[in-house]
Copies of this chain bind each other. A is one copy, B any other.
Amino acid sequence: MATSSAATRGTSAAVSSASTAAARLRVIVPSVADRVADELRLQLAEGVLLPGTRLTESTIAEDLGVSRNTVREAFAELASERLVVRHPNRGVFVASLEAGDIHDVYTVRRTIEVSAIRGGGSPEAVAAVRAAVEEGKLAAAANDDEGLGTANQHFHGAIVALAGSRRLNTIMSQVLAEMRLFFHKATMDAHFYSGYLKDNEEICEALEAGELERAAELLLAYLDRSEEKQAEVHGE
C-alpha cells in the first residue's frame, strides 16, 4: 500500500524531475525518540551503561536535551528489545542477563542459525558469509579485537540471512544486541574470539561445498561451546 503509492507516483511523473527527486531525496529523518533510543543503544553496546544501572527519565532528558515524554518513548522501544527492563513505578534499568537468560539466548540462536544453515541459501547470501569470515581474518591480522568481535557478529548475522527472512533477521539482530550487553565482560579476553576464527572458516567451507548437514553440526558444536564459555565467564 504505502510502497505502491510511491511507485505509482514515480512512474506517472516520469517527465517531471521534481517529484522523482522528492521521492529519491526523501531523507529518512529519524524521530527524536528514535535518535534517543539509538544513543542509548550505543552506550549500552559500548558498556558505558552497565547492566543493572538505573536510567532516570529526567536525567536522560536533561542530558540529551529532550523532553521527558520523548525519553519515555525511547524507553518503550528499548524495552521491546529487552535491552532495558521496566519496573513499574520504579523506573527502567539496564537489563542484566542471568544464567537462565544466557541459556535461553543460545537456545534461540541454535534454533534459528542451525535451521538457516540447513536451508543453504542463495549464492549471494553464501558470499556474505564468506565476506564475514575474511573480515574476521583481516581484523585478526591487524590485532583489532573490537573488529574481530563485530566480524563475528556479521558472520552469524550472515548465516541467519541465508534463510532470507526479514523477520528472522530482525530477531537475530535483537538477540545479538542482547548479547552485547554482557559480552564486554568477556571481550577483554583476546583468546575468546581467536578460536572462533577457525571455526567460522570451517563452517563457511562446508557451506560453500554444499555439505549443509556437516555445516549445521559444526555450527551447533560451536554454539554449544560458546554457551559453555559464556556460562563460565558469567558463572557463579
> Which residues in A have some Cβ–Cβ distance to B below 8 Å?
1-2, 28-29, 31, 52, 69, 72-73, 76-77, 80-81, 85, 87-88, 93, 96, 104-105, 107-108, 110-112, 114-116, 163-168, 171, 175
In the complex, chain B residues whose CB is within 8 Å of the CB of A166: 104
Copies in the assembly, this chain = 2
In the complex, chain B residues whose CB is within 8 Å of the CB of A112: 111-112
- Determine whether the beta carbon of A163 is less than 8 Å from that of B111: yes
- Determine whether the beta carbon of B104 is less than 8 Å from that of A167: yes
In the assembly, what is the distance between CA of A72 and CA of B72, in Å? 10
Of B110, B115, B165, the contact of A104 (CB 8 Å cutoff): B165
5 further interface pairs, Cβ-Cβ under 8 Å (given A114-B115, A115-B115): A1-B52, A1-B93, A107-B167, A111-B163, A112-B112
- By secondary structure, the A interface counts as helix
In the assembly, what is the distance between CA of A28 and CA of B89, in Å? 12
Chain B minimum-CB-distance residue to A4? B98
In the assembly, what is the distance between CA of A69 and CA of B163, in Å? 38
Of B1, B28, B69, B80, the contact of A96 (CB 8 Å cutoff): B1
